[in-house]
A and B are shown apart, each in its own frame.
Chain A
Amino acid sequence: MKNESDTIVAIATPPGRGGVGIVRVSGSNSRLIGEKFFKAKSLSFEHGKMFFGKYSGSVEDTGYLVFFKSPFSYTGEDTVEFHLHGSPFILKSVISDIVESGLARLAGPGEFTKRALFNGKVNLIEAEAINTVISAENSYQAKVLSSLSGKLSDYILSLKSKLVSSIAFLEAQIEYPEEEETENALNDTIPLVEESVNSLKKALNYYEKSRFLFRGVKVVIAGNPNVGKSSLLNAIAGFERAIVTDIPGTTTDSIEVEIEFDGINFVFVDTAGIRKSEGKIEKLGIEKTYKQLEEADLILYLFDPLQLSAEKENFNLPEGFDKFTDKVLKVLNKVDLKDIPYFEGIKISAKENRGIDGLLNKIGSYFKNRDISENFLFSDRQYFALKEALSILEDFLDYAKGDFFPEVGASFLSHAIEVLEGVVGEITTDDILDSVFGNFCLGK
C-alpha cells in the first residue's frame, strides 16, 4: 500500500539530453531533502523563490532550487525542484542520492498528478489531460490536448442539465398526478433526449476520428501470405526518418513496430496472412486478426504482382473487408520485380526500400489532414462512458415508443446521468428536484 503522505521523487523533464533537467520532489520531506543536498548562500525556502547554489551528493552541479509551499504547489504538497544541467547521468545520480537517503521513494507513473488530483488541485478531467499530455511524447499531440479539458467539462455539464430537465418533466408528472400542467411530460422529454443522443453520437464520432492523437495510429498490414508484410514492417522499422521506439517480441500471429513519424506515433502491426482463396476472413478463424482489423485506424492491404494473373485480376478486397473499405490503403509491393501500370494505389518495394518514404508521407497526411477541431474527448475511459450513456438513452427512446411508465423512463435517464457524472463528478437527486421546482409551479 502506498502511503499518500510519503515523499516521492522523479525527473520532471523529458528523457534525453537537454539544456536544463529538473528533479521534482513532493511530500513532507521535500524541504529536508533540499537542505541535505543543496548548498546556497541563503536558503530560506521562501515559497516560489529560486535559489542559486550547488547540488552536492554523489555528483556536484550548479543550478537552482525552487521551493513551493503546500498547498500552493502543483501537487498541493511541499515541493522542491532541482533545476540542474540536463545530463541524464547527473539527473539519475540525483535521484539515486535522494532515494538512498531514505527520505523519498521513486514516484510511480503519474503519481504527481494523482496527488494533485487527490489534493483537489486538479479535477479528474484535468488530471486525465495532464497524464495524456505526459504520455503524448510529441508536441503535435500535446498542443491539441491542452485545450480539451475545459471543453469536456462544459460539454458534460450542459448534457447533464439537459437530461436533468428532461427528467424533471417526468418527475413532476409522477409527483403531482393531479396538476394540469404536468400532463404532456413525455412530449416534452423526448426531444431533449433526442438532442442528447444526437450530440453524444457526434461527440463519439469526433473522438473516433481523432483518437489517433492520444493513443497513436494503429496501422495494420494485411494481405495474402507471402505478399511481403514482414518485409514492409522491417523496411518501416529501418526507415531513417522514423524513430523506432519499440519492437516487442514476436507473438504467434502479429509483430508490432512503434515509430514516431512527422509528429505522430504509429504502431504498425503485421497480421497473419489472409488467404483470399478461402473467401471470407471469418472462415480463417483467426479472430485476433479480425479484431486487429476492427481496431485499426488504417489498413495497408498489400498486393503481390507475382501472385496476380495479369489482365483478369482486379484489386478487389476479400469479402469480409466490406466494412473496412474507408480505412484501407491499397499497396502494391515487389514493384522491383513486376509493375502493374494500371494499379492506382501506392507502389513500393519493401525489399529494396523503395517508396517507403512516399508511403509514410501518404499515411502521415491521411491523419494530419483530418479535421479534429471539434473533438473534446481524450481518453478511452471518457469515450466508453459516453458510449454507455448513449446506449442507455437509446434504450429510453426505444422504451418510449411503446407504452410508457414515467418512473421506468426516469430510471433510464437517471442511470444515464449517473454514468455521465462519473466522467466529471457527482450529482444528487436534489438537482432534479431543484429543476422541477425551478420550472413548475406546484404545491400541495
Chain B
Amino acid sequence: MYDLPQTDSHVIHEDLKVRARDVQVYYGATHAIKDVSVDIADKTVTAFIGPSGCGKSTFLRCINRMNDTIDVARIEGDILLDGEDIYDPAVDPVQLRARVGMVFQKPNPFPKSIYDNVAYGPKIHGMAKTKSDLDDIVERALRRGAIWEEVKDRLLEPGTGLSGGQQQRLCIARAVATEPEVLLMDEPCSALDPIATAQVEELIDELRQNYSVVIVTHSMQQAARVSQKTAFFHLGNLVEYGDTGQIFTNPQDPRTESYITGRIG
C-alpha cells in the first residue's frame, strides 16, 4: 500500500548525527514543542510527519537555529550535533548553518544568476581560492542537485526564471554547495507537481549517501518512499519514532495509527 522501502531497513547506521533531549519551544506564551527527544542517524533520511501545526517544522528549524530569527521564540533542552550542544552560548549560529543546510517549503532562489545562487555559500565561507575552484564547486553542487544538465548552458540567467521544480533543485544544489553534514528539508515538494516531486525524491535518496537528511512532509506516501526513519508529531509531542516500515505497518500508538489511516489530521 505504501510502497515501503523494506529492503533498505538494514542500511540504517547506528552512528548518531543529531541528538535532541527534552526540547521545549515556546512562541511567546504558546508551548509549541513539548519534551521532544529524538536521535537522528547519519547517512539516513529521517521523515517528520504529522498534522498541520503539530510542530514538526518548528522542531526542524531548531536544528539549525533558524528559530533564532523569531524574536518571541524561546528554546529549552539540548540539541547536540556530533556531541556538541548547538545552543551553547559559544556557538555561532552562522557557523552552525554552514554545517546544517536547509531547503525551504517554497523555492526561494536569490534574484541572481543560477551560478551566483550556488556560488554564494561557498564564497562567503571562503571555500574557493580561485575562480576555477569555484566553478568546480558550482558544477559539483548542480550535479548533486540533479539539475546540471538542464542549466549548464545558462548559468548566467536568473535563477528565478526556472520552473518551480528546477528552482527547488537549484535550492537543494545551493544548500549542498557548502558541504553540510545535515540537510534539513521543510516540505520541499509541497509546491511542486508530481513529476518534479519524483525528481526531488530521487535526489533525496541519492543525497543520503553523503548526508543525514531530515525531511518534513505532509505526504505519508512520500515519507514512506524516501525515509528510513519516521517521527510522528502531534500537538507538539513526539508521539512515535522508529523505522519507517514499522511506523507504517505496525504503529505502537493509537494516534499514529489514526493519522496514517487518515482518521485524524
Task: Tell me if chain B binds chain A.
Answer: no
